[in-house]
Structure 1
């Protein structure tokens, strides 16, 4: 729900067209977004604490910790927006004594830098695991923890650099109402249309399609390797029960132990969550690029508003639900998490 900067000269800006008509997406998803964000903040804080207590000793844990930190920052920057939208939509007199773009626009685009950052790390996570599983002898020693940290830092620089065009559009300015002689702060923009177009083509389409294709490829390769490992394990199911636990931690003919399988499953799920959550955004961003009427303040603004609300809800879910993956497929995470719960009790 990307709201443009206000061009109003009133000290109390009017409601946006987004909220003139009640849609099921607003009535249901806006309150849901607020709940998801609160849960996501708590979940990512938990992830960070658990990973740090467990020890960040390998590249997979390093990337998962980085995703949790990035998602936490993203949700923190985005957290005021749903409440502004809720008040604007449900309250008849819920007008703010300031330009709400100070909350929505100025925080939205920096938040998107961290959302892109999480996406890049997810892609990096998928690619590194895919390479290590598909060609273990060639890549097992390539992706060290030090190199992983460097790749993560480079990913953040890239995410920020790609958003510079749209970040440079907005600035805080002061305006005076000629009728009341009251001055107030608002969000001004310069060359917004051109920079938004660049952002749409570069970040919301080209880069998004590249990430999407890479992630789908990684999920397919890792899923195939998991299937191969399960077939091999099934063929060895006649192993005596007394030795089954010891055997499960030893690599099979594919060089995969049960621990490796759990790691791959967690990576596949993280990548799959990314793919599922990005799909609505990919569809509506492509439609926006093709049809100029599918935009804010255009002929199809209501359809655009509903689509963007659904997409944004998916992005909140993407940044919040990884805790379930870590708990179910990371034995060290689960052990430390349960230990923390027992201590609190």
Structure 2
């Protein structure tokens, strides 16, 4: 989620016109009206540097390594199971999120910005990393939603799900999600361009961001889809599917426990299903928890016009989005622990991979 720095206030009618430049505006240093500020300018800059530049940079480096391992493991396991296709797509999307977040954490360092002479570093990072990061984040959300729906169907209609979600359809859906975001991104790069402009302070031309005249209309359409409809829709669907899945699994586990206790007295099936419940719940909980700050911040922007880039609550606005970006990176980086802990097949493949590298 991002917002244009020139937006002085945000309400329901002009929200979609501002949904772009948090990545770009996060570096704005002009302080708003001092009254009612909950966080001082000095504290905001210190926390923003620590959260966005240091923490996001460290998480990005770690997550890039873990997702490269995830991709290798899923490719080695093959794609007989549609879930491997989904998880490979998710790992690729997460890798894209973390690569762009790493670029943003480096480029948005205020000490590094001062060293840029012949170009506007903020504009270049925004152009090459800011919007691509938003797109990859949306891909991650959509693939996570599809995984939740597929798992929900596996429990609700186990006999029909294989005819509904086939290997070819799964591949088509995953590729289609990436393709949709590429199509959504094309208008952005039509209305936002890089141009050489004379900078009177530096007394020479610099490379910076320029805009076409129809930018507001085009971006209003793009961001109403990518920054409102997609994140809120994915968030709600994941919650609903997770609740349905947990209820279904719990009911079937209780029924099978009673049935098996009358005969063998064992509960192997129950134990396996409990592990599935735990894994699904953990994955969904991580996704939901890491997306809550961004959703809540967006809601605040709708109902409080001063909670914006240049409003009286600008410092809280910047900190809120810094935390949202950090948690988004964390969501993309920690899946390896879920897979390694919950999946014996993943754990075995990973151990074989690491042992081969040692030899």
**Which TM bucket (shorter chain)?**
0.7 to 0.9
Whether the 8 Å contact between 2:56 and 2:102 is mirrored in structure 1 is no
The two structures have a TM-score, normalised by structure 2, of: 0.79
Whole-Å separation in 1 of the counterparts to 2:113 and 2:245 = 53
TM-score, reference length from structure 1: 0.82
Q: Tell me by how many angstroms 1:201 deviates.
A: 3.4
When residues 328 and 36 of structure 1 are mapped into structure 2, their CA distance, relative to the original with a 3 A threshold, is same
Secondary structure (helix, strand or coil) at the match of 2:80 reads: coil
159, 165, 169: which one pairs with 1:143?
Answer: 165
What pairs up with 1:170-319 in 2 under 5 angstroms? 170-178=192-200, 182-190=204-212, 191-232=214-255, 234-235=257-258, 236=260, 248=268, 258=272, 262=275, 265-319=278-332
Work out whether 1:99 is the aligned partner of 2:120: yes
CA distance in 2, matches of 1:217, 1:313: 25
With over 3 angstroms needed to count, the CA separation of the structure-2 counterparts of 1:108 and 1:306, relative to structure 1, is same
Whether 2:87 is the aligned partner of 1:64: answer yes
CA deviations on 1:136-170 (whole Å, 9 max, x unpaired) are 12223321111100111222223334445544431
2:11: which partner in 1? none
Pick from 324, 327, 336: which aligns with 1:323? 336
8 Å CA contact retained: 2:198, 2:206: yes
Q: For the residues of structure 2 that align with 1:70 and 1:184, how far apart are their CA atoms?
A: 33
**Structure 1 pair 126–179 and aligned structure 2 pair: CA distance change class (3 A):** closer
Where 1:66 maps in the other structure, the secondary structure is helix
Q: C-alpha displacement at 1:95, in angstroms?
A: 4.1
Unaligned runs of 5+ in 2: 7-26, 32-40
Pick 1 or 2: higher relative contact order, CA cutoff 8 A, min separation 6: 2
What is the CA RMSD across the aligned residues, in angstroms? 3.0
Cα distance, 1:300 vs structure 2: 2.5
State the 1:210 CA deviation. Answer: 1.6
- Deviation string for 1:62-102 (max 9, x for gaps)? 000100011112211221111233x30xx499442231210
Whole-Å separation in 1 of the counterparts to 2:294 and 2:329: 12
Q: Provide the aligned length of Structure 1 versus Structure 2.
A: 323
Structure 1 unaligned spans of 5+: 7-14
User: What's the CA shift string for 1:242-261, capped at 9, x where partnerless?
Assistant: xx6xx84xxx6xxx893x66
